[in-house]
Amino acid sequence: MSRQDGSARQVTRGDVDDTGASILHIDMDAFFASVELLDHPELRGKPVIIGNPEGRSVVTSATYEARRFGVTAAMPVSKAIRLCPQATILPPHHQRYTEYSRQVMAIFRDATPLVEPLSIDEAFLDVSGARRLIGSPAVVGQHIRERVHRETGLTCSVGAAATKFVAKVASGRAKPDGLLVIPPAETLAFLHPLPIRALWGVGAKTEESLQRLGLSTVGDVADTPLATLTRAVGEATGVKLHELSHGRDARRIVTATSEKSIGHEVTFDVDVTDPARVRLELLRLADQVAVRLRKSGASARTVAIKVRFEDFTTVTRSRTFAEPTNVGRRLFEGANELLTVLGIDGRAIRLIGVRAEQLTDEQDAVAALWDPDEEWREAETTIDSLRARFGGQAVRRASLLGRKGNDTAGGTRAPAP
């Protein structure tokens, strides 16, 4: 099986020395689409798109057969149909996804109490203590895969390695429905041939900067002097790429969750149907939540949204970040992704809210191996200082200008309970 970057699927077959490869990353395969196919077995092996074909809906998920045509999540369904006109369109059922997620996470926790969910369909596990009960990391990974399939009918891919970063890369290489173990001694041999996009946090802009240096693989990055990297992409990014390219990642599994949360929500005076207007309010709320997080010295591992429609139906969605954050831009990006998958286009909205959950000490975010918020953190903390000196309205995002005070959408705004 080939990928868009031309690389082949990798799986572990037979015995392997998995000593020290006790961090698992488990990712459900095309989770939403796979849940829908449980009720439509006749569509297995065919291109299927999960979404609503009417209006301006977006793709919630797609089978791998549809993805080969370029269909991706959050893409407008109309575009997905143009890319893959032979695909079958099925409506999403989010309650079922939540139910299956609970089942899968329970299976993970039966193997080890050290489970760190990243989202509804993926998690990190530390299985170092499961050797006596189940077996070595490879055995545990295979045991979980078999149980998930036997009890739910779904498949998952597992990466096993000595670090979170390498385990996550490995699970992606094993997709779909595979297990890939990377022995610690083979970490660099596994990582170095991979394209630079395999490095966590390398997006289009950073990739372009690295390519200007003539770098195309992870090994190229590892062979580049740290001073050269930092000049090209900045000190923080240069250091994290240097560490990752050498397979170094000191993060441990985080299982503790806090019940504390910080949230803001707004009830509109008149129901809003304009998605752009809703997203503008989402941005404002995310900024307000971030300010309160920074004032309290906290960061959030999870962002959640709350949407109440004109008929008073209320829906909540959440996602967990790879690293905790107290940056408004990151909270907004996460909240906006949730809103996009929810598919609000054309629906009248009465209330919208943003909540930061699973709070942790701010230093946990700053001390992380990489800081995905670095481009925005300095700007937002500078704005905090200016607001403290000159008042709350002294500095505002350009996208929020042109509306008086806080009255973005003519609504009542308050901290969420």
Which DSSP category does 347 fall into?
-
Instruction: Find out whether 247 and 169 touch, Cβ atoms under 8 Å.
Output: no
Q: Which helix (H) or strand (E) holds 137?
A: helix 137-152
Which DSSP category does 76 fall into?
B
Residue 64: what residue type? Y
- Selecting among 36, 116, 122, 243, the annotated active-site residue is 122
Question: 187: which residues sit within 8 A by CB, 6+ positions away?
Answer: 161, 162, 163, 166, 247
Q: How far apart are CA 62 and CA 199, in angstroms?
A: 25
Beta bridge partners of 26: 123, 158
223 is in an annotated binding site: no
Q: Is-cis flag, bond preceding 176, omega within 30?
A: yes
Q: Which helix (H) or strand (E) holds 98?
A: helix 94-111
Q: How far apart are CA 267 and CA 409, in angstroms?
A: 9
Is 151 assigned a catalytic role? no
Q: How far apart are CA 285 and CA 267, in angstroms?
A: 12
121 is in an annotated binding site: yes
Instruction: Find out whether 190 and 166 touch, Cβ atoms under 8 Å.
Output: yes
Q: Which residues participate in the annotated binding site for Mg(2+)?
A: 27, 121
Where in the sequence numbering do the catalytic residues fall?
122
Q: Which residues participate in the annotated binding site?
A: 27, 121
